[in-house]
Structure formats: structure tokens, C-alpha cells
Chain A
Amino acid sequence: MILSHFTALTIFALIVSTVFAMITKNEPREQLRYGVFVFLSFIAVAFAVGWLMFPLPLSGYHP
């Protein structure tokens, strides 16, 4: 199986945010809110770090 970076990230974020939400919160409504927050945070931080690394040279990378 070969997943794109974004798909792998999304699946990872979805599973981890589900577990975090269910461990840290007790009420279903709180769990949903916290889970969505963690999931979106994962995606946002990944995009931010990706753009921060954009100017860096890809030395030695030969696709």
C-alpha cells in the first residue's frame, strides 16, 4: 500500500485524535469537540511546518 503524504497524515490524525478525545474527555459532546480540535490542529500544524520547510533545498533528492 502506498499512500500520499496527506492521506497518511489524515488517517494518522483521525485515529490519534479519536483516542485522545476518548481518553481525555468523558461527555460525548466534549469528546467530539476536542477530537475535531485535535484533528484540525494536526492538519494545520502539518501544513504550517510544510510551508516553513518549503524554501529549504532538496539536495540529494532525485525523484
Chain B
Amino acid sequence: MDQGTNAESAPKPAPIQSKPMNMAATLAVCSGGWLIPGLAHILIGRWIRGLIFAACVFLMFGFGLAMHGKLYDLEFDEPLHVFAFIANVGTGIPYWVAEHLDLGVGTMNWPSYDYGTTYLWVCGLLNYLIVLDAFDIAQGRKP
């Protein structure tokens, strides 16, 4: 009991509160982070974190393409492909660049086709999480 009371009465370190950005600037930063992975963190001054995130997303995207994964277009004929498109487009500009260069065609009989496609989905989804993290930091909700 005493220990619990002492633990409760012990002074806790104050959480680090950074000054929140206004919403328009936050959304602009997050848009930049969506288009170019890692850019949002770099713009809000988290250089190391941003560079590591960028390396992770670009590396995964490169591996996905190298393994002959498929990048999905927006096709309403195949409703389930819309989810794949949403995952793919999370990568931002690299998605459109790869599409423009016909890199994400996907070779179904290639041994690592499934892995490559999964890599391409997951790197887009990771980038969404990264953008949300940048949003929280910019809004002062996270140190």
C-alpha cells in the first residue's frame, strides 16, 4: 500500500508538448508525406525518422517491383481490385512513376509474383501509417 501511495505521489516527468501546427499546414505537410514517403517527417524537423521511413518504403517498393509484383489500377469492373489500388496508391508519386514506366505489370508465372505484389501493397499501407504519425506529431499529440 505504501509503495503504491509513494509511486502515485512521486513526481512524474511532464510530457513533452510541442507547439501544434495549424490544420492547413498540417494537411499540406501530410499531403507531401503521402506523395513522397518520409517527406512529412522531414518537413516537421524529424530528419532521422523521415529518412528511415523513406528508406523503408522505397526499399520495399523496389523489392516489390524487382519481384515482378503487380500495381493495380482503379478498375470498377473488379470491385475487390479497388482495395488493392487504395493500398498501392498509398506510396504516392513512386506509384505513378512506376505505372508510367510500365514497371508494375506483374508476371503471374514468376515465382515471387505473390510476394512482390504483397510488398507493393504493404509499402503503400505503411506510408499511410507514416503520414498519420506525422499528423499526430504536427498536431502536438505526440512528442
**Chain A, 1-35, contact with B by CB distance < 8 Å: what is the 0/1 string?**
11100001001100110110011001000000000
* Cross-chain contact B122 with A26 (CB below 8 angstroms): no
B129 touches A19 (CB 8 A): yes
Size class of the contact patch on chain A: 10 to 19
Q: Are B52 and A22 in contact (CB under 8 A)?
A: yes
Chain B stretch 115-133: residues in CB contact (< 8 A) with chain A = 115, 118-119, 122-123, 126, 129-130, 133
A8-B112 in contact (CB<8A): yes
The segment from B23-31, B53-61, B81-89, B96-104 that touches chain A is B53-61
Residue of A nearest to B133 (CB): A23
Most A Cβ at <10 Å: residue of B56, B68, B110: B56
- Bound CA–CA A51/B40 (angstroms): 42
* B115 surroundings in chain A (CB, below 8 A): 3, 8, 12
- Inter-chain CB contacts under 8 Å: number: 43
CB-CB < 8 A to A12: which residues of B?
60, 115, 118-119, 122
Residue of A nearest to B59 (CB): A15
The yes or no answer to B141 lying at the interface (CB within 8 A) is no
Given A3-B112, A8-B115, A26-B143, residue A19 in contact with residue B59 (CB < 8 A): no
Residue of A nearest to B115 (CB): A8
Contact, CB under 8 Å: A18 / B56? yes
Query: Which B residues are CB-close (under 8 A) to A15?
Result: 56, 59-60, 123, 126
A11 to B, closest residue via Cβ: B63
Given the known inter-chain contacts A1-B112, A3-B115, please indicate yes or no for A19 contacting B126, CB distance below 8 A.
Answer: yes
For the complex, is B11 an interface residue (Cβ under 8 Å from A)? no
Contacts of B118 in A (CB 8 A): 12
Residue of A at shortest CB range from B114? A8
Shortest Cβ distance from B134 into A: residue: A23
B50 to chain A, nearest CB (A): 10
